[in-house]
Chain A
Amino acid sequence: MNLEYINLISFGYFEKGLLELVANDVKKEFLLPVIYREGHLDLSEFYDPGRRQYDGNKLLKTIDSKFAFDNDKTLGLFNVDLYIPILTYIFGQAYLNGRAGIVSISRLSNERYGIKADDKQLVDRFRKEVIHELGHTFGLIHCKNSTCVMRSSTYVEDIDQKNHQLCEKCRGQLG
Chain B
Amino acid sequence: MSKKISILIVDDEESVRSSLYNWFIEDDYRVDCAEDAKKALSILESDSFDIVLADIKMPGMDGLEMLKRIKSFRKDAIVIVMTAFATVDTAVQALKDGAFDYITKPFDPDDLSHLIRNASKQITLIEENEVLKEKVISLENVENLIGNSEAIRKVLKEIESVAQSNASVIITGESGTGKELVARAIHANSPRRFFPLVSVHCGALTESLLESELFGHEKGAFTGAVYNRKGRFEMADSGTIFLDEIATISSKMQVELLRVLESKSFVRVGGNKEITSDFRVICATNRDLKGMVEKGIFREDLFYRLNVVNINVPPLRERIEDIPLLVDYFIKKYCTTMNRSLITIDSGALKRLEEFTFPGNIRELENMIERAIVVGNGKKITLKDLPLGKEIVNTTAESLDDLEKNHIFQILTKYNWNITVAAKALKIDRVTLYNKIKKYGLTEPK
Contacts and interface: CB of A to CB of B under 8 A. Distances in A.
Nearest to B29: A141
B106 A141 contact: no
B110 A85 contact: no
A154 B15 contact: no
Contact of B108 (A57, A88, A136, A141): A88
Interface string A99-137: 000000000000000000000000000000000000010
B156 interface: no
B377 to A, nearest CB: 62
A85 B26 contact: no
Interface stretch (B16-24, B127-135, B319-327): B16-24
Interface in A87-104: 87-90, 93, 95-96
Given A154-B108, A155-B110, A86 B26 contact: no
Contacts of A93: 22
A89 to B, nearest CB: 7
A143 B76 CA distance: 29
Interface in A3-36: none
A84 B24 CA distance: 14
A141 B28 CA distance: 6
A142 interface: yes
Interface in B4-56: 13, 15-16, 18-20, 22-23, 25-28
Contact of B16 (A85, A88, A136): A85
Contacts of B22: 93, 95-96
Contacts of B16: 85-86
B109 A85 contact: no
Max chain B Cβ within 10 angstroms of own Cβ: one of A57, A83, A90: A57
A159 to B, nearest CB: 12
Contact of A154 (B18, B20, B109): B109
Contacts of B20: 86
Interface residues on A, range: 10 to 19
A148 to B, nearest CB: 14
Contacts of B28: 141-142
B85 interface: no
B26 A87 contact: no
B340 interface: no
Nearest to A58: B15
B363 interface: no
A155 B108 CA distance: 10
A136 B25 CA distance: 10
A152 interface: yes
Contacts of B27: 141-142, 152
A85 B13 contact: yes
Interface in A148-170: 152, 154-155
A95 B28 CA distance: 14
A142 B23 CA distance: 10
Contacts of A152: 26-27, 113
Max chain B Cβ within 10 angstroms of own Cβ: one of A57, A86, A87: A86
A88 B106 CA distance: 5
A85 B106 contact: yes
B335 interface: no
Max chain B Cβ within 10 angstroms of own Cβ: one of A83, A95, A141: A141
Nearest to B18: A57
B109 A89 contact: yes
12 contacts: A84-B15, A85-B16, A86-B16, A86-B20, A87-B106, A87-B107, A87-B108, A90-B109, A95-B22, A96-B22, A152-B27, A155-B110
Interface of A: 57, 83-90, 93, 95-96, 136, 141-142, 152, 154-155
